[in-house]
Structure 1
Amino acid sequence: MHSKPVRYLVLIDAAGASVARMFDEQLHQLNEIDGGSEEVAVMLRGLAPAHSAADPAWAQALRGHSAAERAAARVYTLDV
């Protein structure tokens, strides 16, 4: 069975800590890891965030986070 490729990585605050959430093209969450980990730094090397997660499309994917947390989040689009 093939796993879906990660298309977006979102760095978002969760209770004072940075969390990296990984999503597929349809904004289904695939994984979550510590946003300060070396793995995240390697994945994001050379990338700039495209936008915040304030767009309404992210509201369902990031439910449980406030509008302010979503607005402050950084969304990175990864090559697939």
Structure 2
Amino acid sequence: MGQNYGIAVPPAHGGAPHRAPARYLVLIDAGGPTVARLFLATREPVAEFDAGSEEVAVMTQGLVPARGADGPEWDRALEGHSADERAAAEVYTLDV
């Protein structure tokens, strides 16, 4: 029987690199409700959640959004959204 009283020693931290931080927050209509979508600098999607959540208010505090995500750089990232939804989207560039 061990002398550690059943509490295991946590393993050493791995040397794996951290995930890249999200660079863009896009608030966009999704056929009814507005959703918040997080993207990396490469426009790769990271997360999607309700735009009315408290986290959105915290992330956007003091930031001014760009209106519209209808440029070619957003074509692949927002391909499931209509042209009208993309034109009305608010794009926040997050401080990294």
**TM-score, normalising length: structure 1:** 0.94
Higher strand residue share = 1
CA radius of gyration, larger in: 2
What is the percent sequence identity of the aligned residues? 61
d(CA) in 2 for partners of 1:20, 1:10: 6
For 2:22, give the aligned amino acid.
V
Runs of 4+ in 1 over 2 A off after TM superposition: none
Matched residue count: 80
1:29 and 2:57 matched: no
C-alpha root-mean-square deviation of aligned residues, in Å?
A: 0.9
Gaps of 5+ in 1: none
**TM-score, normalising length: structure 2:** 0.79
For residues 1-80 of structure 1, the aligned pairs below 5 Å read 1=16, 2-80=18-96
Gaps of 5+ in 2: 1-15
SS in 1 for 2:19: coil
Higher helix residue share = 1
Return the structure number with greater relative CO, CA threshold 8 A, min gap 6. 1
